[in-house]
Amino acid sequence: MNKKPSIFKSLRLGLIVLFCLIVYAYGFQVTQVSFKEISSQRRQESLTRVLRALARPDLIEYKQEETIIKTSIYVPCPESEIPSIEIDKSKPYLVLTPACSEPRKQIQIEGYNFTPKSDGSLYFIPPSEVNLNLGTFTADEKGYFSVMVKVPPRPDTAVQYIHAVSLQRTGSPILTQTAKDTWGKIVETVFLALLATTLGVIFSVPISFFAARNLMKEVTSTISALSLSILGWPVGIAIGVIVTRWVNNQSDILLNNSWLALLLIIVLCAVIWFIVRWALPQEETQRPKFTLRVVRLITLGISGIMAIMIAIVAAKLTMKAGVSIISPLGVFGFLGTFLSNMGEIIKTIMPLAVGIAVGALVSNMFGKAGKLLYLRINPSLHLIANFILGGLAGATVFITISFLINWFYQINDPFKIYTIPGLIGALCGVALAMWSRKQDAIPTGMAIYYITRTLLNATRAIEALIWVIIFVVWVGIGPFAGVMALSLHTVAALAKLYSEQVESILPGPLEAVRSTGATRLQMIIYSVIPQIIPPYISFTMYRWDINVRMSTIIGFAGGGGIGFLLYQNINLMNYRAASAQMLAIAIVVALMDYLSSYMREKVV
Amino acid sequence: MLRVQNLTKIYEGGVLALDNVNFEVPRGQFLAVIGLSGSGKSTLLRCINRLIEPTSGKVLWNEVDVTAASEEELRLIRRKIGMVFQHFNLVHRSSVLTNVLAGRLGYVNPAWSIINRFPKEDVEKAMKQLARVGIAEKANQRADELSGGQQQRVGIARALMQDPAMILADEPVASLDPVLAHSIMQYLELINKEDGVTVLCSLHFLDLVHRYAHRVIALNEGKLVFDGLPEEIDDNRFKEIYGKDAERVG
Ligand SMILES: Nc1ncnc2c1ncn2[C@@H]1O[C@H](COP(=O)(O)OP(=O)(O)O)[C@@H](O)[C@H]1O
Ligand SMILES: [Mg+2]
């Protein structure tokens, strides 16, 4: 009974072994494993050369002083006797054996009293005074050396000379140019990683909430609310961008006088403070009347415009101030550059940021209106309203997507890019409205969750080293491209790690805060965030560590940092310089590793 | 007045946790909910403020249909219903004071609470509630530095911050030793008597039921099997509620 299975088993085992064999054999084939190459004489020699160069990183050098010790030689030997020369035996001197020679013969050169362990070169100096290199020497502890050299084919009747040029280190060791360059680049590398990590954290924290199943699962909405919030986005973005443009144009007049602008900022801040205090009372037991709420909304809107004004004026002032303090600050001029850059960044992203903020706000308000709609209108109209709103929203989404597709493929046929997708979208919207008659039926949260996860996974799958190639096209070769690429990868990677932390929080406190009647945002702030702070810090440190590592090689693809230097030196076969950079990388990475584990231990 | 009508909850996996439950609780009553673990006590309490969405049936509170409330309305209902949990459910890394102030989140303007600003009156009120449960001096300590009994008192203070008309207490003393259990139960009793707050409290030990409850309901596999006075639970009733093999201790 038992025999059959066991034969079958061993047969199967044999097949598995055979299969593995084939896999590895094919693996050898495709990866071109070759032990012949490894053991070839030529390869081994170059490996030895490179390894020896790597073992001597080009970091320090000494100022060297040359001393020339001369002695005379006759080539060929004269008929008469060689005039003997007096030798001062307290100084370095050379002894030739024999003292004269035929051309192309070997002679021995011995040196005495040289600086112990010093290096030098030997030259043959014919009457034409060119230096013919005879080789090098290294003195021993007693300052003695002995080398055999071949006399050059330069016969002459006159006396000729042999020079020993001895090199002596003088003074203390100094850093080589390579060391200085390496230092500059390693600083750049560390800051590249720091900036990328910071940017990554700023974006990935909010994203991580959208990628957390436990928070998004409960987010559902009615078809009317969903449709209205979708329709709210373009409306809000348009309002935001238009208002920002308008404010931007108005602000130019104010900026003629910087002090006046500064005063304006202060006054506006105070006004906003009072408006906000009035329009957002801290606690209200009664729901305020409708008219009061509308008035509040309007004043808040006005104060929002004022806030935009403040931001733009402040950004422009910062730019001005930054530029004007660059030269007075001298070495610290980078602070001025930083300020003006920050101003510029704020000014540039203002329309986009305001657009998104107002878009979210309007979408939210429309969504709430959608919920009210259900309660106000006659139930028999629900279905019709759902069809209309669903159709409109579906059309909006599809047209937006096809607009993006058109940007890539340039189809430019309005019928194909607007009419058809619009119709299909409207149909989908109506279909969705038919399918979900019940209130609160559409799992919007899970939809957002899956979309976010998919985008994050796709972004994360592409390494920063590859992203940098795209960013180099956009912002040019240099550390900025590296910062962008690393940031993007950091956002994707951190948002995933963070969201997993959100998913693993204790559900109890969340439930408790929810039961007090808190809003979703309040739940996140009072129950989720306190729980995720330690893991977030620890993952951020971990990521910074990874980013330092990544930024050491991101230069290979043009992303700045020390990798750029390393890549160049390897290509130029300048292995001693490359070795200096590798050493720097090793030190920085090890330090970072230590620092991050230390900090993680401290905070968690 | 709380009215629970035909309340049924079927979990996603198909578990019938509540099976057509009907009962009423008049204002100011101290109602104990008993039953074996897994009988549906937690599910019942959570269906009342819709932390768990009931499958069918109605919950009417002061004639307002909780089960039909919109998200906005639900928040307003929830803020009047305090909740106390078996595992306290405090936010460990936040201070005791912040945990207590969280009870106020349904009242304060969300815009301000985002930047952790509470009105001065709320902070004073929080200190007063902490004093009431006898741990005022712990206000600035981290919540997880407190002992179990102290944490549950913070939980009660948090519920009190809501100015509740009703408190749902889900086995509030199950994780505490008997001496502490009585002190926590006494706070609930005090709140019930002094403030006239309706209390629905699920309990494990019958002696606690006898000592504190005005009335008892019992669940068995999601069905309401008893509704009456604590004294009415004799040996027969006991076996009905807890099963034939159960032995009555004490
Ligand atoms: N989230 C859930 N998903 C599926 N089943 C659940 C869930 N929560 C509780 N249950 C089941 O519902 C029943 C009632 O549980 P519960 O209300 O917690 O009882 P009790 O609080 O009386 O111990 C149990 O059988 C339990 O296994
Ligand atoms: Mg329970």
Token pair listed for A502:
């959100």
Question: Do residues A571 and A470 both lie within one domain?
Answer: yes
**pLDDT surpassing 60 at residue A1:** no
Question: Do residues A202 and A115 both lie within one domain?
Answer: no
The answer to whether A37 touches A563, Cβ cutoff 8 Å, is: no
Task: Decide if A8 is inside a domain.
Answer: no
CATH of the domain at A137: 2.60.40
Bigger pLDDT: A317 vs A282: A317
**pLDDT surpassing 60 at residue A3:** no
Question: Do residues A470 and A600 both lie within one domain?
Answer: yes
**pLDDT tens figures, A477-488:** 999 999 999 999
Maximum pairwise Cα distance, chain A: 134
Q: What is the mean pLDDT of chain A?
A: 88
Question: Do residues A114 and A187 both lie within one domain?
Answer: no
Question: Do residues A468 and A601 both lie within one domain?
Answer: yes
Cα–Cα distance, A225 to B71 (Å, whole number): 12
The answer to whether A108 touches A148, Cβ cutoff 8 Å, is: yes
Range of the domain at A166: 64-173
The CATH number, out of the four listed (3.30.450.90, 3.40.50.300, 3.30.1330.30, 2.60.130.10), of the domain defined by the range B26-54+70-80+164-250 = 3.40.50.300
Residues of chain B contacting A532 with CB distance shorter than 8 Å:
none
* Per-residue pLDDT, A440: 58
**A521 in B contact zone (CB under 8 Å):** yes
**pLDDT tens figures, B166-203:** 999 999 999 998 889 999 999 999 999 999 999 999 99
* Per-residue pLDDT, A581: 93
Question: For residue B46, which of B13, B73, B98, B85 has the smallest C-alpha distance?
Answer: B85
Rounded to the nearest angstrom, the minimum Cα separation between B211 and chain A is 27
Could you give the residue range(s) of every CATH 3.40.50.300 domain in chain B? 26-54+70-80+164-250
**pLDDT surpassing 90 at residue B125:** yes
* Per-residue pLDDT, B250: 47
* Per-residue pLDDT, B148: 93
- HSE-up (13 A, CA, CB side) for residue B124: 3
The answer to whether B31 touches B201, Cβ cutoff 8 Å, is: yes
Torsion angle of C-alpha atoms A378, A383, A384, A385, degrees rounded to 10 = 70
Ion ligand 2 neighbours, Cβ < 5 Å: B 42
Question: Do residues A148 and A187 both lie within one domain?
Answer: no
**Beta-carbon neighbour count of residue A492 at 10 Å?**
23
Distance between Cα B40 and ligand 1 center (Å): 6
Alpha carbon of residue B45 to chain centroid: 7
Minimal-distance CA residue to ligand 1 atom 1: B11
CATH of the domain at A597: 1.10.3720.10
Amino acid present at A559: G
**pLDDT tens figures, A201-250:** 999 999 999 999 999 988 888 888 888 899 999 999 999 999 999 998 88
What angle is formed at CA B207 by the lines to CA B216 and CA B1, rounded to 5 degrees?
25
Task: Decide if A100 is inside a domain.
Answer: yes
Task: Decide if A346 is inside a domain.
Answer: no
* Per-residue pLDDT, A261: 86
**B97 in A contact zone (CB under 8 Å):** no
Which run of H or of E encompasses A96? strand A93-97
Question: Do residues A140 and A108 both lie within one domain?
Answer: yes
Task: Decide if A594 is inside a domain.
Answer: yes
The answer to whether A111 touches A164, Cβ cutoff 8 Å, is: yes
List pocket residues of ligand 1, CB cut-off 6 Å. Answer: B 11, 13, 15, 17, 35, 37-43
Question: Do residues A190 and A143 both lie within one domain?
Answer: no
| DSSP result, B219-238 | EETTEEEEEE-GGG--HHHH
* Per-residue pLDDT, A37: 81
| DSSP result, A476-516 | -SSHHHHHHHHHHHHHHHHHHHHHHHHHTS-HHHHHHHHHT
**pLDDT tens figures, A289-306:** 888 888 988 999 999 999
Distance between Cα B48 and ligand 1 center (Å): 15
**pLDDT tens figures, A443-473:** 889 999 999 999 999 999 999 999 999 999 9
Domain boundary among A148, A173, A198: A173
- What number is the average pLDDT over the span A53-70? 87
**pLDDT tens figures, B227-239:** 999 999 887 888 8
Domain boundary among A173, A193, A215: A173
In terms of Cβ atoms closer than 10 Å to its own Cβ (0-12, 13-18, 19+), residue A485 is buried
Cα–Cα distance, A597 to A94 (Å, whole number): 61
Maximum pairwise Cα distance, chain B: 57
Q: Which of B78, B114, B116 sits opposite A516 (nearest CB)?
A: B78
Question: For residue A99, which of A119, A76, A116 has the smallest C-alpha distance?
Answer: A76
**pLDDT tens figures, A391-449:** 999 999 999 999 898 888 888 888 888 889 899 999 998 888 887 766 557 888 999 99
- What number is the average pLDDT over the span A25-45? 87
* Per-residue pLDDT, A438: 60
Question: Do residues A156 and A132 both lie within one domain?
Answer: yes
**pLDDT tens figures, B15-42:** 999 999 999 999 999 999 999 999 999 9
Question: Do residues A106 and A186 both lie within one domain?
Answer: no
**pLDDT surpassing 90 at residue A254:** no
* Per-residue pLDDT, A14: 94
Bigger pLDDT: B11 vs A104: B11
Cα–Cα distance, B17 to B40 (Å, whole number): 5
* Per-residue pLDDT, B249: 61
**pLDDT tens figures, A514-556:** 999 999 999 999 999 999 998 899 899 889 889 999 998 899 9
Question: Do residues A199 and A166 both lie within one domain?
Answer: no
Question: Do residues A604 and A587 both lie within one domain?
Answer: yes
